[in-house]
Structure 1
Amino acid sequence: MTDRSQAQVVLLHSNDIHSRLENAARIATIIAEERRTNGADRVLAVDCGDHMDRMRQETEGSDGMVNLELLLEAGYEVVTLGNNEGLTYSSEVLSNLYKQPSQPAVVCANMELTSTGERPEWMHPYTIIDKNGINFGIIGATANFYEFYLLLGWTTSEPLQAIRAQVAELRGKVDVIVVMSHLGLPLDQRMAMEIDGIDLILGAHTHHLLEEPLVIRDTTICAAGKFGDYIGRVEITIDKMTGRPLFKGECIPTGAFQEKAQAYDIILKYREISRHRLSRVVSTLSVPLTQNPERESPFSNLLAAGLRKWTDAEIGLVNSGQLLGSLSIGDVTSGELHALCPSPINPCRMIIAGEYIRTALEQSLLEDFFRKPIKGYGFRGVVLGKLAVDGMNITYDNTRPAMNKLISVKVNGEELLDAKLYTVGSIDMFSFKAGYESLSKAEKFDYYLPQFIRDVIEHELAIPASLQLCHEHRWHQTGAIQSN
Structure 2
Amino acid sequence: MTEAMQAQVVLLHSNDIHSRLENAARIAAIIADERRVMGAHRVLAVDIGDHMDRMRMETEGSEGRVNLALLQEAGYEAITLGNNEGLTYTGAALHELYSSPSRFAVVCANMTLDSTGERPDWMQPGIILEKNGLSIGLVGATANFHPFYKLLGWTTTAPLEAIREQVSLLRSRCDVMVVMSHLGLPLDRQMAEEVPGIDLILGAHTHHLLEEPIVMGETTICAAGKFGDYIGRVEIRIDSATGKPVFSACCLPTGAYAERPEAEAIISAYGEEAKLRLGKVLATLDHPLPARVDRESALPNLLAAGLRRLAEAEIGLVNAGQLLGGLAIGDVSAGELHALCPSPINPCRMMIAGAHLREALEQSLLSEFVYKPIRGFGFRGEVLGMLAVDGLSITYDASCPPMNRILHMEVGGEPFQDERVYSVGSIDMFSFRAGYESLANGESYSFFLPEFIRDVIAGELLSESALACCNQPRWRPIG
Q: Which residue of 1 aligns with 2:323?
A: 323
SS for the counterpart of 2:115 is: coil
2: CA distance, partners of 1:88 / 1:297: 28
- Asked if 1:478 corresponds to 2:478, the answer is yes
- Asked if 1:311 corresponds to 2:315, the answer is no
Unpaired runs of at least 5, structure 1 = 480-484
Paired residues for 1:61-100 under 5 Å: 61-100=61-100
The number of aligned residues is: 476
1: CA distance, partners of 2:432 / 2:330: 37
1: CA distance, partners of 2:87 / 2:425: 20
Q: Which residue of 2 aligns with 1:180?
A: 180
SS for the counterpart of 1:49 is: coil
- Can you list the C-alpha shifts for 1:412-460, whole angstroms capped at 9, x where unaligned? 1111111100000000000000000000000000000000000000000
Q: Which moved more, 1:218-227 or 1:100-109?
A: 100-109
Paired residues for 1:50-129 under 5 Å: 50-129=50-129
Q: Which residue of 2 aligns with 1:334?
A: 334
Q: Which residue of 2 aligns with 1:408?
A: 408
Q: Which residue of 2 aligns with 1:353?
A: 353
Q: Which residue of 2 aligns with 1:388?
A: 388
Unpaired runs of at least 5, structure 2 = none
1:102 is displaced (CA, Å) by 2.8
Q: Which residue of 1 aligns with 2:286?
A: 286
1:45 is aligned with what amino acid?
A
- Asked if 1:436 corresponds to 2:436, the answer is yes
1:296 is aligned with what amino acid?
E
SS for the counterpart of 1:171 is: helix
1:151 is displaced (CA, Å) by 0.2
Q: Which residue of 1 aligns with 2:147?
A: 147
Q: Which residue of 2 aligns with 1:462?
A: 462
2: CA distance, partners of 1:103 / 1:313: 47
1:101 is displaced (CA, Å) by 1.4
SS for the counterpart of 2:148 is: helix
1:435 is aligned with what amino acid?
G
2: CA distance, partners of 1:291 / 1:390: 15
2: CA distance, partners of 1:64 / 1:289: 30
2:120 is aligned with what amino acid?
P
2:180 is aligned with what amino acid?
M
1:100 is displaced (CA, Å) by 2.0
1: CA distance, partners of 2:431 / 2:169: 37
TM-score normalized by the length of structure 1: 0.98
SS for the counterpart of 1:376 is: coil
1:103 is displaced (CA, Å) by 3.2
Q: Which residue of 2 aligns with 1:482?
A: none
2: CA distance, partners of 1:22 / 1:168: 39
SS for the counterpart of 1:88 is: coil
SS for the counterpart of 1:155 is: strand
- Can you list the C-alpha shifts for 1:253-292, whole angstroms capped at 9, x where unaligned? 0000000000000000000000000011100000000111
2: CA distance, partners of 1:137 / 1:61: 35
Q: Which residue of 1 aligns with 2:242?
A: 242
**Is contact 2:75-2:103 (8 Å) kept?**
no
Structure 1 stretches of at least 4 aligned residues deviating more than 2 Å after TM superposition: none
1:203 is aligned with what amino acid?
G
2: CA distance, partners of 1:372 / 1:384: 5
- Can you list the C-alpha shifts for 1:116-150, whole angstroms capped at 9, x where unaligned? 00000000001110000000110000000000000
Q: Which residue of 1 aligns with 2:257?
A: 257
1:99 is displaced (CA, Å) by 1.4
1: CA distance, partners of 2:202 / 2:449: 29
2:360 is aligned with what amino acid?
A
Q: Which residue of 2 aligns with 1:9?
A: 9
SS for the counterpart of 1:328 is: coil
SS for the counterpart of 1:16 is: coil
1: CA distance, partners of 2:103 / 2:143: 23
SS for the counterpart of 1:210 is: coil
Paired residues for 1:171-250 under 5 Å: 171-250=171-250
1:5 is displaced (CA, Å) by 4.4
- Can you list the C-alpha shifts for 1:55-110, whole angstroms capped at 9, x where unaligned? 00000000000001000000000000000000000011001000121331000000
- Asked if 1:28 corresponds to 2:41, the answer is no
